[in-house]
């Protein structure tokens, strides 16, 4: 099956593709052209119920009884199954998002496969802890811990890295023995559906992986997060959506794991390698059309190199080629939708109203006729905004950044931390003592030094402040995806 022919996207429940009882459908639009590329079934309460029940039944069936080694082998097969259909996943992801294949074939699709392998291996290799307790009779007691799957996990995933972020949750959830109900973003339904086919192909038991399509409030997302049969909710997306999901989870004290928005700083010191800093910052500000929660929207540069940095980043931004996903020369695709473009352009206007100097961009590009209906915006750089400007304080999630000079390390750290968010920081310096010092002081879940988006999947990943709750990655994922039980044996 190729995506070009997959016009109708159904839910994947208990190993089968099914439509909605209500007959409600919505359009899937290619953001590069504005053209309709699919029709998607919108789940109502009955489909959400069916998916959660299928997930519950699977926990009680073959999957729940499966030995860990067998489960891990199946997850390796699943990863190989994704790789075997690499081109289909690539096309599906790029049509849904408009992102260039150059990006998706290095990041999104390989990570989609790796997310299953890495967690299968992690789970197989985690020791259980034990403690010997002294007792008054001198015989002692032995404590040891057991990890059990948490149960049915609701996965609510966003549109910016659809396969990568969905499998980042489904991988550890399944590795730990859970079952899942996934609600992908309404903007990007294709790869979750394709993954259902691969699940069946490699023999993952029915009901282990379920997908329901639809929107958030008063639709599939809300029905799922409020469902009493859900044991945990993992979500990546906007901070306000996180707050809404948290309220839904509160009713049944359902456990949550959140990776939310960011307003990430880059700190560029005069002792940096300028070539590396420019290359890395071009990626961190503009990759995926700026739609990465880890992306850089605030850049602070030491005053002595400020003019050179601004000049070189401008040149770099102006050489980015906007175009179709399958053109190997394309560096940047469109935004995800016209609605999101309206939001980003409203910030482009606001920046000017708030006194920004537009170094480059600030508007929409002229695109060829075939792409004229797409959600395109220019990569944009501003300077001269005040620290309290809305474009400095609010997550924009577009290809735009602001550059501001600083005079000391202390000032750079204070500026970096002057935000409600705390997801990621990039520090550019060749002075390793400074790198360690600054990394330790920035309020962020992730501090990259002389790099950006270099991901070791065994490391803790998540945000401080309003950027999230909890950490996932490596053994840290087990904290959310398992229930830890202590067994105490009196000897």
Ligand X SMILES: NC(=O)C1=CN([C@@H]2O[C@H](COP(=O)(O)OP(=O)(O)OC[C@H]3O[C@@H](n4cnc5c(N)ncnc54)[C@H](O)[C@@H]3O)[C@@H](O)[C@H]2O)C=CC1
Q: Which residues are catalytic?
A: 259
474: left (phi over 0), alpha (psi -120 to 50) or beta: left
Quick one: 343 or 434, whose CB is closer to ligand X? 343
Binding to ligand LM24SWP5, residues 440-479 (CB under 6 A): 455, 461
Quick one: 176 or 182, whose CB is closer to ligand X? 182
Residue 168's binding partner out of ligand X, ligand LM24SWP5, none, with CB under 5 to 8 Å set by partner kind: ligand LM24SWP5
Q: Does 285 bind ligand LM24SWP5 (CB under 6 A)?
A: no
Q: SS3 string of 190-245?
A: HHHHHHHHHHHHHCCCCCCEEECCCCCCCCHHHHHHCCCCCCEEEEECCHHHHHHH
Quick one: 156 or 449, whose CB is closer to ligand X? 156
- Segment (H or E) for 473: none
Q: Do residues 148 and 482 make contact, with C-beta atoms less than 8 angstroms apart?
A: yes
Binding to ligand LM24SWP5, residues 174-203 (CB under 6 A): none
How many of the chain's residues bind ligand X (CB under 6 A)? 26
Q: Does 111 bind ligand X (CB under 6 A)?
A: no
Q: Do residues 176 and 202 make contact, with C-beta atoms less than 8 angstroms apart?
A: no
Binding to ligand X, residues 28-57 (CB under 6 A): none
At closest approach, how far in Å is the CB of 108 from ligand LM24SWP5? 10
Structure tokens that stand for 12 in this block:
């994947």
Q: SS3 string of 255-273?
A: EEEEECCCCEEEEECCCCC
- Segment (H or E) for 15: none
Structure tokens that stand for 177 in this block:
């023995």
HSE toward the beta carbon, residue 399, CA cutoff 13 A: 34
Q: Do residues 444 and 423 make contact, with C-beta atoms less than 8 angstroms apart?
A: yes
At closest approach, how far in Å is the CB of 261 from ligand LM24SWP5? 8
Spacing of C-alpha 177 from chain mean position: 22
Q: Provide the edge-to-edge strand list for the sheet that holds 25-30.
A: 8-9, 35-41, 25-30
Q: Which residue is nearest to ligand LM24SWP5 (CB)?
A: 293
Q: Does 241 bind ligand X (CB under 6 A)?
A: yes
Q: Does 163 bind ligand X (CB under 6 A)?
A: no
Residue 238's binding partner out of ligand LM24SWP5, ligand X, none, with CB under 5 to 8 Å set by partner kind: ligand X
At closest approach, how far in Å is the CB of 375 from ligand LM24SWP5? 18
Among 113, 161, 359, 375, binds ligand LM24SWP5 (CB under 6 A): 161
Quick one: 179 or 337, whose CB is closer to ligand X? 337
Q: Does 158 bind ligand X (CB under 6 A)?
A: yes
Length of the chain: 491
Stretch that binds ligand X, among 204-212, 241-249, 355-363, 435-443 (CB under 6 A): 241-249
At closest approach, how far in Å is the CB of 93 from ligand X? 15
Q: Do residues 46 and 24 make contact, with C-beta atoms less than 8 angstroms apart?
A: no
Reference 258, options 472, 476, 475; nearest CA is: 472
Among 41, 102, 150, 183, binds ligand X (CB under 6 A): 183
Among 25, 215, 271, 455, binds ligand X (CB under 6 A): 215
Among 178, 225, 378, 482, binds ligand X (CB under 6 A): 225
Among 37, 202, 208, 292, binds ligand LM24SWP5 (CB under 6 A): 292
Residue 32's binding partner out of ligand X, ligand LM24SWP5, none, with CB under 5 to 8 Å set by partner kind: none
Report which DSSP code applies to 34: T
Residues ≥6 apart with Cβ < 8 Å to 476: 460, 461, 462
Cβ of 188: how many Cβ atoms within 10 Å? 25
Binding site for ligand X (CB under 6 A): 156-160, 183, 185-186, 215-217, 221-222, 225, 236-238, 241, 244-245, 261, 293, 340, 343, 395, 397
Binding site for ligand LM24SWP5 (CB under 6 A): 158, 160-161, 165, 168, 236, 259, 292-294, 455, 461
């Amino acid at each position: 099956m190729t995506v070009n022919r997959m016009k109708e996207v159904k839910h994947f429940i208990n190993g089968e593709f099914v439509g909605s009882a209500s007959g409600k459908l919505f359009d899937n639009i290619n953001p590069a052209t504005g053209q309709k590329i699919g029709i998607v079934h919108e789940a109502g309460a009955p489909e959400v119920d069916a998916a959660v029940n299928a997930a519950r039944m699977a926990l009680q069936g073959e999957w729940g009884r499966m030995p860990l080694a067998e489960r891990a082998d199946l997850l390796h097969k699943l990863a190989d199954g994704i790789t075997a259909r690499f081109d289909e996943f690539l096309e599906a992801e790029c049509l849904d998002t408009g992102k260039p294949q150059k990006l998706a074939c290095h990041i999104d699709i390989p990570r989609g496969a790796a997310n299953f392998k890495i967690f299968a291996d992690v789970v197989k290799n985690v020791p259980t802890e034990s403690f010997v307790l002294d007792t008054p009779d001198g015989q002692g007691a032995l404590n040891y811990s057991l990890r059990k799957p948490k149960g049915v996990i609701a996965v609510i995933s966003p549109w910016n890295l659809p396969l990568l972020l969905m499998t980042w949750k489904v991988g550890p959830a399944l590795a730990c023995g859970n079952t899942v109900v996934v609600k992908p973003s309404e903007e990007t339904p294709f790869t979750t559906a394709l993954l259902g086919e691969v699940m069946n192909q490699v023999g993952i038991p029915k009901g282990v992986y379920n997908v329901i399509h639809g929107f958030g409030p008063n639709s599939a997302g809300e029905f799922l997060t409020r469902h009493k049969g859900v044991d945990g909710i993992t979500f990546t997306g906007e901070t306000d959506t996180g707050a809404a999901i948290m309220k839904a989870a509160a009713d049944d004290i359902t456990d949550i794991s959140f990776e939310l928005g960011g307003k990430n700083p880059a700190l560029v010191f005069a002792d940096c390698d300028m070539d590396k800093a420019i290359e890395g910052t071009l990626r961190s500000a503009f990759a995926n059309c700026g739609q990465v929660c880890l992306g850089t929207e605030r850049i602070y540069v030491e005053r002595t190199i400020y003019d050179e940095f601004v000049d070189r980043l401008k040149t770099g931004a102006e050489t980015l080629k906007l175009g179709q996903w399958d053109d190997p020369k394309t560096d940047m695709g469109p935004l995800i939708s016209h609605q999101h473009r309206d939001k980003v352009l409203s910030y482009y206007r606001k920046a000017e109203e708030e006194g920004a100097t537009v170094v480059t961009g600030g508007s929409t590009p002229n695109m060829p006729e075939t792409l004229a209906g797409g959600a395109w915006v220019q990569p944009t750089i501003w300077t001269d905004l005040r620290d309290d400007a809305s474009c400095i304080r609010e997550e924009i999630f577009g290809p735009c950044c602001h550059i501001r000079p600083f005079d000391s390390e202390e000032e750079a750290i204070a500026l970096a931390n002057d935000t409600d968010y705390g997801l990621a920081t990039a520090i550019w310096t060749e002075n390793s003592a400074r790198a360690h010092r600054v990394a330790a002081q920035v309020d962020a879940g992730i501090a990259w030094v002389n790099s950006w988006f270099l991901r070791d999947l065994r490391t803790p990943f998540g945000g401080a402040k309003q950027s999230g709750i909890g950490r996932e990655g490596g053994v840290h994922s087990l904290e959310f995806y398992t229930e830890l039980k202590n067994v105490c044996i009196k000897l």
